[in-house]
Structure 1
Amino acid sequence: MKKLFLFVLLATAIFSCKKSNENWQQAASNPEFLRRTQSQLTESIIHDIFAPPVSSRIYMYSALAAYEALAAGNSNYQSMVGQLKGFKKVAKPEAGKEYCYPVAAVHAYLTIGKSLTFAQEVYVDFEKKLEQDYKATGIPSDVYERSIAFGDSIAASIMNYSKGDNYKQTRGFRYTVTQKKGTWVPTPPAYIDAAEPYWSKIRPTTLDTSSQFMPPKPYEYDMAKGSKYYDMVMDVYNTINNLTEEQRNIANFWDCNPFKMNITGHAMFATKKVSPGGHWMAIVTQTSRQLKADIYQTSEAYLLTSMAVFDGFISCWDEKYRSVKVRPETVINEVVDKNWQPVLQTPPFPEYPSGHSVISGAASVALSSVLGDNIAFADSSEMQYGLPVRNFKSYKDAAEEASISRLYGGIHFRPALDLGLEQGRKVGNWVITKVKTRKK
């Protein structure tokens, strides 16, 4: 009888330990850890006021680091080594050792994000809380420390990869404004220099060249009544003059201007908001949560979306600084109505094509490939700026609204939207064709 009691006691203890082990593994693999970290990175990017293309670079390398850490521990996913341009090697875990790969992934994401942003103080409290929450899962201390070290190794590999993308070499160069009619000039109210004029020189993740998906040549400047260019200008002018409340709401919702300059009398101050890429990363966060995606699928969605946005900006900026087209505000003020103003503040770079249209088209395709087509969702990412939730039938639906919002904002001509959206979809389809995340 005594032996039977000891046997039952031992069996219960073993079962309890096994159950406890399963509990911490499940708790530490909660995708909310990754989603929280992504949101924190966005707050840091907003704080530091990075230009939209630069923000896309930060998101992409961070997402790549998280994905690589997770792929190392899941046989269903494969590394991006050999699939991305110039990506030749990544750190590997030590054989025979126990890791919590989700912990490594979140740490790698955060480490890259910190390395590529400036204000380190914004991470202090977040990191403390993150560590507390991980340890509260019951993860063994040796597994936790080993996983953090592996995350550091992955981050070091990704930072080494990033050094070859020509980013450092393109810093400090400025665009020289020409006096040719119809070409871009700085716009009110701050007349800021052209942003990232050499972004097309940045190494893409998948594109053969930055001009691979070059859009059709834009209309030549011609303000003669009845010309296609004139009709295009008047389309913007009349749209803004007859804007509905719903159209204004759409424009403001998709504004995504990281640095809006406000001028009141002699005082000037900036309003900081999420970038276009940051808005789409927030959509990944919201819809992966809605669909109850696990940390692997969530990371996959962050990766492919950020890659599509990153390559989309390179493709878009290639044409922007080739055609160097003037903004609606400049033409309308010079020729049509000197007192006319757009609804949104005009961003500091050439008009054609629309960056938001390109990256939204690219992101919607990439995201659909992971989480599915026709996913209806409520987008609350702009609530922090006092804007209401907007509902969409699909990622494609959201991308189309993001694109037309630039017409309602008065900052783009319609061809830049329609052709930009088409260009972005080509980029997105290229990305999901060129790289394979799943082994089966």
Structure 2
Amino acid sequence: MTTFSADPAKVPQETPLYVAFVQAAVYDAVVGIDGRYEPYRFDARAPRGASAQAAAVAAAYKVLITYSPYAKTNLDAAYATSLAQIPDGKAKSRGIAFGTLAADNLIAMRANDGRNAPISFTQPPAPGVWRPTPPGFLPMAVPWMEAVTPLLLRSGAQFGEPGPPPALTSDRYTRDFNEVKAFGSMNSTVRTADQTSTALFFSGNAPAQYNAALRDQMTVRHPDLVDAARMFAAVDMSEADAVISVWHAKYLYGFWRPITAIQLADTDGNPATIADPTWTPLLTTPNYPEYVSGYSGLTGAFTRALADTLDTENLHLTLVSTAVPGAVRQYDTGASLRDDVINARVWLGIHFRTSDTGGVDMGERVADWALEHYFGERDHRDRR
């Protein structure tokens, strides 16, 4: 995650995709040697006695260096350090070769997958339609994400069309509008200190936050290499497909953000929404459409994939904020985390509640489908 997050050629919204590439290759390399679980997309027979640890290191390195060559010096050093911990011999060399093959397979498979395609958001401004927001008035970030080939799903539209956002004159939209206007304002008089604290806790980088929590699970669960590879692959690949699905909905519906909706409420045809041309949110609005929420989609995918992988709702999560230094929270269940994120994005003033609940639901459905179709135990007769 750190390598991709620091990559000057990438933006935060696309990092889950590349993290998933790494974990997919590592998973295929490890299970190709161990044989405990069904492979993802690399059903090659591993050399007898190959080291799964060496394969994991080699697979991760090859994917990382391919997609973030800027970090070659650091990656080379980390690669050498990791391999130095494995005894030299045929097992090590065979593992390195097999892991590299797994990575090469993943890289070839992801060629021409829609990344960086020349797509832009073209809907003309109108009531309910997204447009660039202050202060930067930037165009939509990574619009091509909506057309990227998913890793697990059949298409980004499989769960990417949850139905349109509420009509501007509907009761639901009116409730959502008035809630975020009151609680999400920079100068809100009704948002409590605790609500502000929760909002700011979830105002940073969701992929980085959840990957740190996933690494913490290693100290909580103590999985072996194979189960760890499965856990990381299932969670990170579900998150990547959730982002693709979310972006499909964002691009398809192109719904306006609260700051635009509130400042231009006199154009929405709804007498129950009152315009405030000076309204600003607690958090600067991200530069992409509102519906559905990406942070919420990631949260749904993260919690559901982890629960499905571990076969328990008792996740015992430790989360560290990437926006508030030193802020740490504990969550026993995914449901409690999902509730906080849904509320936080409203209290930050950047989402309507319907978008948050819709995002969580989409992420959960992506993860459930992924775990139903991938990462299952291999028939014992085919164990390597």
Q: TM-score, normalised by structure 1?
A: 0.76
* Correspondence for 2:270: none
The answer as to 2:150 corresponding to 1:204 is: yes
Matched residue type, 1:202: V
Whole-angstrom distance in 2 between the partners of 1:181 and 1:379: 38
* Correspondence for 2:5: 45
Aligned residues: 364
Whole-angstrom distance in 2 between the partners of 1:159 and 1:364: 27
Whole-angstrom distance in 1 between the partners of 2:9 and 2:345: 21
Matched residue type, 1:116: Y
* Correspondence for 2:24: 64
* Correspondence for 1:102: 53
Whole-angstrom distance in 2 between the partners of 1:357 and 1:424: 8
* Correspondence for 1:302: 232
1:230-379 pair list within 5 angstroms:
230-240=174-184, 241=188, 242-256=190-204, 274=205, 276-335=206-265, 336-371=275-310, 372-379=312-319
Matched residue type, 1:119: Y
Indicate how the Cα distance of structure 1 residues 141 and 373 shifts in structure 2: closer, same or farther if over 3 A, else same: same
The answer as to 2:163 corresponding to 1:216 is: yes
Structure of greater Rg: 1
Whole-angstrom distance in 2 between the partners of 1:47 and 1:130: 18
Match of 2:128 among 163, 182, 195: 182
1:383-422 pair list within 5 angstroms:
386-422=325-361
Q: Is contact 2:57-2:83 (8 Å) kept? A: no
Q: Is contact 1:78-1:438 (8 Å) kept? A: yes
Q: CA deviation at 1:286?
A: 1.0
* Correspondence for 1:3: none
* Correspondence for 1:165: 113
What percentage of residue pairs aligned between the two structures are identical?
23
Whole-angstrom distance in 1 between the partners of 2:78 and 2:149: 36
Gaps of 5+ in 1: 1-40, 82-88, 257-273
Q: TM-score, normalised by structure 2?
A: 0.87
Q: Is contact 2:38-2:377 (8 Å) kept? A: yes
Whole-angstrom distance in 1 between the partners of 2:33 and 2:2: 27
Aligned-partner SS, 1:198: helix
Whole-angstrom distance in 1 between the partners of 2:345 and 2:43: 40
Q: CA deviation at 1:102?
A: 1.3
Aligned-partner SS, 1:392: strand
Q: CA deviation at 1:387?
A: 3.9
Matched residue type, 1:286: D
Gaps of 5+ in 2: 266-274, 380-384
Whole-angstrom distance in 1 between the partners of 2:349 and 2:9: 23
Q: CA deviation at 1:346?
A: 1.0
The answer as to 2:320 corresponding to 1:380 is: yes
Indicate how the Cα distance of structure 1 residues 43 and 345 shifts in structure 2: closer, same or farther if over 3 A, else same: farther
Q: Is contact 2:119-2:143 (8 Å) kept? A: yes
Q: CA deviation at 1:164?
A: 4.3
Matched residue type, 1:375: L
The answer as to 2:60 corresponding to 1:128 is: no
Q: Deviations over 1:288-314 (max 9, x none)?
A: 222112221111111111121121122
* Correspondence for 2:268: none
Matched residue type, 1:157: N
Q: Is contact 1:60-1:307 (8 Å) kept? A: yes
Matched residue type, 2:61: L
Q: Is contact 1:215-1:420 (8 Å) kept? A: no
Matched residue type, 1:220: A
Q: CA deviation at 1:187?
A: 0.9
Matched residue type, 1:428: A
Aligned-partner SS, 2:163: coil
Q: CA deviation at 1:130?
A: 4.7
Q: CA deviation at 1:196?
A: 2.4
Q: Is contact 1:328-1:413 (8 Å) kept? A: yes
Q: CA deviation at 1:400?
A: 2.8
Q: Deviations over 1:376-425 (max 9, x none)?
A: 23223638x51411111123322332232211111000111112212221
* Correspondence for 2:271: none
Stretch moving more, 106-115 or 358-367: 106-115
Q: Deviations over 1:40-87 (max 9, x none)?
A: x33432443734442121011110110011011112122113xxxxxx
Matched residue type, 1:191: F
Q: Is contact 2:253-2:291 (8 Å) kept? A: yes
Q: CA deviation at 1:211?
A: 2.4
Whole-angstrom distance in 1 between the partners of 2:226 and 2:71: 27
Aligned-partner SS, 1:156: helix
